[in-house]
Amino acid sequence: MASIILFNKPYGILSQFSGEDPTTTLSEFIDAPGFYPAGRLDKDSEGLLLLTDCGQLQHQISHPNYDKQKTYWAQVEGTVDENALQQLRRGVALKDGTTKPAEACCIQAPQVAPRIPPIRERKHIPTSWIALKISEGKNRQVRRMTAAVGFPTLRLIRVAVGDWQLEGLAPGDWIKHTLSDEEIKSLKLSSEPRIPHRYRGSAPKPRHRKSPASSRKARGSSKSPS
């Protein structure tokens, strides 16, 4: 059966298992051989990163042709106005093309764990939060979109990918969910997981993280996504 891991990626962690500094990679948090990231989340972004042992599912989540909707909370510099929201909803002209219309609205500051290190705020400039839903995967898209409408992003948290949600996961925590037959059918996957061709014979070797990661790994039991 195909399975998926939901991981709350902290700030400063790469969306990969290997790197010059292992403490900044997924291997510092996740010990699950056979699982690979489905898409990516920038090092300076936080929140929901999905990993799977199914190549078909990995392709569906990461490939832009499937238009998998992603939801972000962005803390931006300045007080966002309706004009900026309308621009985001219409689509923003970037150097690599105009973005598709996004869902955008202002939200109250969410109850989230403090970022480590904290964001750099300018003393006399307020910050505000917006929720953005996009279905594209341009490089650093949300940050470029908010900057283009006059409100640079200071903190970015991805809270949902499709129906999978971050809710209930503290930074650094993860859970594993085995897809039901109904989910496999709805996603149009075969019942047999397969490893992407580019990974065959070169599986990453996640390191065992010492305490307190043992408590995080203990949460890697099967659980339906929120």
* pLDDT tens digits, one per residue of 30-42: 999 999 999 889 9
| 66 φψ region: left (φ > 0), alpha (ψ -120 to 50), beta (else) | alpha
DSSP code at position 26: G
Write down the pLDDT at residue 194: 42
- Same-domain status, 149 and 168: no
Q: Which amino acid is at 116?
A: I
Q: Is 173 a catalytic residue?
A: no
Residue ranges for the chain with pLDDT beneath 50: 191-226
Write down the pLDDT at residue 225: 38
Nearest by Cα to 217 from 28, 23, 12, 30: 30
Beta strand extents in the chain (DSSP E only): 3-9, 36-37, 46-52, 70-77, 93-94, 97-98, 103-107, 127-134, 153-161, 164-165, 174-178
- Compute φ and ψ for 119, nearest 5 degrees: -70, 160
- Same-domain status, 151 and 86: yes
Nearest by Cα to 108 from 129, 77, 127, 88: 129
Q: pTM value?
A: 0.82
- Same-domain status, 98 and 137: yes
- The CATH number of residue 154's host domain is 3.30.70.1560
Q: Which position among 21, 31, 42, 96 bears the catalytic label? A: 42
- Compute φ and ψ for 127, nearest 5 degrees: -120, 160
Q: Residue 135 belongs to what domain range? A: 69-161
* pLDDT tens digits, one per residue of 98-146: 999 999 999 999 999 999 999 998 889 999 999 999 998 888 999 999 9
* Number of domains the chain contains: 2
- Same-domain status, 179 and 137: no
Write down the pLDDT at residue 63: 76
**Rounded-to-integer distance, Cα 138 and Cα 135, Å:** 10
